[in-house]
Structure 1
Amino acid sequence: MTKFLKHMGAMMAAGVLLAGTAQAETRVTYKSAKSGSSYYQMGVELAEAMKAGTDGGIIVTIEESQGSTQNVMEVRARGGDYVFTTPPALVGLAQQGKGPFEGKSAPQFDEIRALFPIPSLTMHFVMAGEGGTGTLDDLAGKTVLLGKGSFGATEGEKYLTLFGLADKVKIADAELSNAVAALKNGQIGAFVTAGSFPAPNVVEAAASTPVTLLSLSPEQVAETKRTRLVIPAGTYAGQDQDVVTTSLPVAAFTTTKMDDETAYQLTRTYWEQKARMAGTSAWWGGVTADLMAHITTPLHPGAVRYYEEAGIALPDARNQ
């Protein structure tokens, strides 16, 4: 009887221990981009970092997304475990009922709160030929592949028009997924792509054929009304100089439904694990505290707590 009671006691203690473990585990859904994209891969890496950095205390499930607009729209039906990525400017449009959110306003948009920046969407103008770096004027007379429907395609078309190149280039009727092969085979002279750097398709292109990356002048950067970004020399094979281009900042967001402790742990773990993530994927190395200046949405109180502890300067939006 004594042995039986001891055995039952041990079982009950184990049950309490397991219950405590289960209770301590926080599950979060992270919605970012299409599977196969660099941003989806970032989500996978971030999920692994969260699990490692919290000893399994935070488990992140990755959800495929059709894009940033969908990520914001889903705020209307999601709970406190929802984290998503989008450019801060898009959140502003949602809260104002403008752009893709015209006629689709929802009170939940005002509950969106920022957590931390992630690698920016960076414009790449990639041209065939030796030379390392060049200027946008070098595109004149080339067949250029922009792709269709993406931020890079829309932005690339805008720049060609903005800088008087629209009538000087031929636009290839092909998908961006064919860009590297088409450049290598001489079917196109250049392609435009947007993604965090180093961008996988640019890495592949530079490794398989000589390429020239094109830089924007200070005046051109100002005309685009985008954020200036420098791709450091040596990022891609054959790139022996810095390349000046533009970017669209991107950040991770949640809503006021998330509790302060979870937001704090997510933010703290992200920054503490960022160096380790950069050792695996170089695009995390481009994220610095300076990117906080581009977050125009109010920060989650839990995130604010971490930034104040870490002594990281915050944008004015934190007080809203």
Structure 2
Amino acid sequence: MLTSALRLGIAAIAGLAVALPAAAETRITYKSAKSGSSYYQMGVQIAEAMKAGTDGGIIVTVEESQGSVQNVMETRARGGDYVFTTPPALVGLAQAGKAMFEGKSSPKFDEIRALFPIPSLTMHFVMSKSSGVTDFAGMEGKTILLGKGSFGATEGEKYLKLFGLEGKVTLAEVELSNAVPALKNGQIDGFVTAGSYPAPNVIEAAASTDVTVLSLSDDQITQSKRSKLVIPAGTYAGQDADITTTSLPVVAYTTTDMDEDTAYTLTKTFWETKVKMSEDAPWWKGVDEALMATISGKIHPGAQRYYSEIGFTLTEAQK
């Protein structure tokens, strides 16, 4: 016969078992870009990969963003569950309080740490075949859509100035999301967009109307102070030759508020599922160990642990 004390003890243990959660679950917010962009699609793919790769241990919620600057700024109010994407150069500017971060400095910026590289921002200058434009000089007198507030818009405007086209093209007051229909109906002659290749809006444009994606000369690439990137022939419909353009590296970041185990698991799962993601979306094929060199700041200690395990060499500046 059970004593009263033993009965109470069994009851307490049973109650404790009911109160405990079935399994630990880590929730992450991933903020990258506007919905409909290639980078938003990448976020969705990463979320799916994390869920599958951790058997539901990590659940990623993708948030729409207005751009990389906003992503960095939000570190001031976010906690250890925040992952965001941005070019490494913007992190450096934020930490130095320069350019768009002047007067907006925060100690939180110094706590930003890298996790892993993602596909680079690739510039696309897309012109309708009917415009007859085959190089930058030919854009003079044409109507071009740059969009607003994005890296592609800012970079596109910079290139127009660099290559002597400032004031010589008409800038369309149309949202970038409407670029393809505007190109098809002749409202614009071309548009500028930045995203990993193959870019969804360029795929759509090339499939629905004849387009020419402009190449940059080596001299123009040097003037841009960006990295050279070659989009292989056949990437887009009707593209018979390689496209030479520029790119800007992009990296997934968090802050030191994230614990080491979570950062380790995120990084490990990303690299281990990247091959599967590449089968579904070709832009992941461009992510390899070589892109680690584009991370100019510090890497999270949890991610460093994984890179040490797989033999990736990190610089002293990254540690």
Deviation at 1:211, TM superposition (A): 0.9
User: Does the aligned pair in 1 maintain the 2:37–2:200 contact within 8 Å?
Assistant: no
Deviation at 1:79, TM superposition (A): 1.9
Residue in 2 aligned with 1:300? Answer: 300
**Which one-letter code corresponds to 1:35 in the other structure?**
S
**Cα gap change, 1:119/1:14 in structure 2, threshold over 3 Å: closer, same or farther?**
farther
Measured in 2, the distance between the counterparts of 1:203 and 1:15 equals 56
Deviations 1:30-73 (A, max 9, x none): 12223333222221111110010111111112222232222212
What are the equivalent positions in structure 2 for 1:112-261 lying under 5 Å apart? 112-129=112-129, 134-261=134-261
Measured in 2, the distance between the counterparts of 1:70 and 1:111 equals 16
Deviation at 1:77, TM superposition (A): 2.2
Measured in 2, the distance between the counterparts of 1:122 and 1:43 equals 17
Measured in 2, the distance between the counterparts of 1:229 and 1:130 equals 26
**Cα gap change, 1:170/1:54 in structure 2, threshold over 3 Å: closer, same or farther?**
same
Unmatched tracts of structure 1, length 5 or more: none
Residue in 1 aligned with 2:317? Answer: 317
**Which one-letter code corresponds to 2:87 in the other structure?**
P
Residue in 2 aligned with 1:272? Answer: 272
What are the equivalent positions in structure 2 for 1:5-154 lying under 5 Å apart? 16=17, 19=20, 21-23=22-24, 25-129=25-129, 134-154=134-154
**Cα gap change, 1:39/1:285 in structure 2, threshold over 3 Å: closer, same or farther?**
same
Measured in 2, the distance between the counterparts of 1:269 and 1:293 equals 20
**Cα gap change, 1:141/1:70 in structure 2, threshold over 3 Å: closer, same or farther?**
closer
**Cα gap change, 1:18/1:233 in structure 2, threshold over 3 Å: closer, same or farther?**
farther
RMSD: 2.7
User: Does the aligned pair in 2 maintain the 1:264–1:302 contact within 8 Å?
Assistant: yes
**Cα gap change, 1:135/1:308 in structure 2, threshold over 3 Å: closer, same or farther?**
farther
**Which one-letter code corresponds to 1:171 in the other structure?**
L
Residue in 2 aligned with 1:288? Answer: 288
Deviations 1:187-212 (A, max 9, x none): 32221111121111111110011111
Deviations 1:88-138 (A, max 9, x none): 11111111111121112111111111000112221101111189x943233
**Cα gap change, 1:294/1:17 in structure 2, threshold over 3 Å: closer, same or farther?**
farther
**Cα gap change, 1:144/1:70 in structure 2, threshold over 3 Å: closer, same or farther?**
closer
**Cα gap change, 1:173/1:81 in structure 2, threshold over 3 Å: closer, same or farther?**
closer
Measured in 2, the distance between the counterparts of 1:190 and 1:105 equals 38
**Which one-letter code corresponds to 1:80 in the other structure?**
G
**Cα gap change, 1:235/1:316 in structure 2, threshold over 3 Å: closer, same or farther?**
farther
User: Does the aligned pair in 2 maintain the 1:292–1:315 contact within 8 Å?
Assistant: no
Deviation at 1:16, TM superposition (A): 4.6
Q: Percent identity?
A: 69
Runs of 4+ in 1 over 6 A off after TM superposition: 12-15
Measured in 2, the distance between the counterparts of 1:230 and 1:224 equals 15
User: Does the aligned pair in 2 maintain the 1:296–1:315 contact within 8 Å?
Assistant: no
User: Does the aligned pair in 2 maintain the 1:94–1:101 contact within 8 Å?
Assistant: yes
Q: Secondary structure at the match of 2:293?
A: helix
Greater CA drift, 190-199 or 281-290? 281-290
User: Does the aligned pair in 2 maintain the 1:130–1:212 contact within 8 Å?
Assistant: no
**Which one-letter code corresponds to 1:228 in the other structure?**
K
Unmatched tracts of structure 2, length 5 or more: none
TM-score by length of 2: 0.89
TM-score by length of 1: 0.89
Measured in 2, the distance between the counterparts of 1:17 and 1:198 equals 50
Deviations 1:244-263 (A, max 9, x none): 11112111111112111111
Measured in 1, the distance between the counterparts of 2:280 and 2:19 equals 33
Deviation at 1:155, TM superposition (A): 1.1
Deviation at 1:21, TM superposition (A): 4.3
Q: Secondary structure at the match of 1:72?
A: helix
Deviation at 1:14, TM superposition (A): 11
Q: Secondary structure at the match of 1:22?
A: coil
**Cα gap change, 1:282/1:17 in structure 2, threshold over 3 Å: closer, same or farther?**
farther
